[in-house]
């Protein structure tokens, strides 16, 4: 009887907590949802609109902006942006995992200070950081000087105005978004699982691939999403380090809105970018639900 009363009190307390947190979440959720839906509807309406002689948008129904997406030039830019974003995700994962692993499992009492040392520089303005990075990667910058000194580059080697420069900028700009979720996943990792793997003569490499990596794959998946979304729509790296031959879809959208005054085409490109991002997000959510279902079994 006493057990039943305790269980009933626990359920009432959980229900009260759930209602309280729901009310706390409601204003922010309504605010974000309202502005997100309003902006998406506006962009969708502009995508089938027109512009007047002065370049001002006019509402209507004209599919010329949507049909223009079939131009192979835009497809090439979209494919290039997708390739740069995926390559950025892969490089960020390779860089971030050892960093997060070392800090989470071997950082000791300095782990919080080390995470702060990584995160704090990223509070600086993104544009300023990209300008600084472009100087580092310039023809006379320290990177190319070091490569020339060890014979890995010559006087004709360039990083700026190439695809390498764009990906380098994207990795520098968004690698912290990969480190943080990986660090959080490794912090929650039960270290006894690693010790059990080693007790079973798994060895460091086998233990990592059969125990540590599967246990932290949700953190890696979250990091991949957090890097992919902004990298896909970024335009600063391509503008400062890619030159005119390495533009991404973000540069196209910016040009159509602010220079070409072609709002319908800019809106259609935005909707196309949103579609690609939604596909990536849908895949992430589906994978997450599947992992949670497997964990409950």
What would the pLDDT profile of 108-126 be if each residue is shown by its tens digit? Answer: 889 989 999 998 888 888 8
Residue ranges of domains in the chain: 81-247
Predicted confidence at residue 276, as pLDDT, reads 86
What superfamily in CATH does domain 81-247 come from?
MetI-like (1.10.3720.10)
149 half-sphere exposure, CB direction, 13 A CA radius: 7
Both tokens assigned to 48: 């089938």
Predicted confidence at residue 169, as pLDDT, reads 92
The model's confidence at residue 3, banded by pLDDT at 50, 70 and 90, is low
Let me know: does 225 contact 278? Beta carbons within 8 Å: no
* pLDDT reading at 1 higher than 70: no
- Identify how many contiguous H helices and E strands the chain contains and give both numbers: 15, 2
- Quick one: average pLDDT of 146-165? 87
pLDDT in tens, 88-112: 999 999 999 999 999 999 888 899 8
Give dist(CA 33, CA 36) in Å, integer. Answer: 5
The model's confidence at residue 275, banded by pLDDT at 50, 70 and 90, is confident
Both tokens assigned to 24: 């706390």
pLDDT in tens, 194-249: 878 777 767 788 888 888 888 888 899 999 999 998 898 888 888 888 877 888 98
* pLDDT reading at 281 higher than 70: yes
pLDDT in tens, 52-91: 777 777 887 888 888 888 888 888 998 999 999 999 999 9
Look up the pTM and report it: 0.83
Helix or strand or coil: residue 242?
A: coil
Helix or strand or coil: residue 57?
A: strand
- Quick one: average pLDDT of 149-169? 88
Distances 238 to 12, 91, 103, 231, 251 between C-alpha atoms, Å: 55, 17, 32, 10, 8
Distances 118 to 122, 178, 179 between C-alpha atoms, Å: 8, 12, 9
């Amino acid at each position: 009887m006493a057990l039943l009363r305790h269980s009933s009190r626990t359920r009432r307390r959980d229900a009260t907590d759930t209602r309280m947190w729901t009310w706390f979440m409601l204003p922010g959720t309504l605010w974000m949802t309202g502005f997100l839906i309003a902006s998406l509807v506006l962009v969708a309406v502009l995508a089938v609109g027109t512009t007047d002689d002065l370049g001002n948008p006019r509402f209507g129904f004209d599919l010329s902006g949507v049909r223009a997406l079939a131009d192979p030039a835009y497809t090439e830019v979209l494919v290039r942006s997708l390739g740069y974003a995926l390559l950025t995700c892969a490089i960020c994962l390779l860089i971030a995992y050892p960093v997060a692993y070392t800090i989470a499992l071997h950082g000791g009492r300095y782990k919080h200070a080390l995470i702060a040392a990584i995160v704090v520089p990223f509070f600086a303005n993104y544009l300023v950081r990209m300008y600084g990075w472009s100087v580092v990667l310039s023809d006379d910058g320290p990177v190319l000087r070091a490569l020339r000194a060890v014979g890995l580059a010559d006087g004709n080697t360039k990083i700026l105005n190439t695809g390498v420069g764009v990906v380098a900028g994207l990795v520098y700009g968004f690698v912290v978004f990969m480190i943080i979720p990986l660090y959080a996943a490794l912090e929650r990792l039960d270290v006894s699982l690693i010790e059990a793997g080693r007790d079973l003569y798994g060895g460091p490499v086998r233990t990592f691939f059969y125990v540590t990596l599967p246990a932290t794959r949700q953190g890696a998946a979250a990091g991949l999403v957090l890097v992919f979304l902004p990298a896909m729509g970024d335009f600063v790296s391509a503008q400062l380090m890619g030159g005119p031959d390495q533009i991404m879809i973000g540069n196209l959208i910016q040009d159509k809105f602010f220079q070409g005054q072609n709002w319908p085409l800019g809106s259609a490109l935005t909707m196309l970018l949103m579609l690609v991002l939604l596909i990536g997000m849908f895949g992430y959510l589906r994978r997450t639900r599947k992992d949670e279902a497997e964990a409950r079994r």
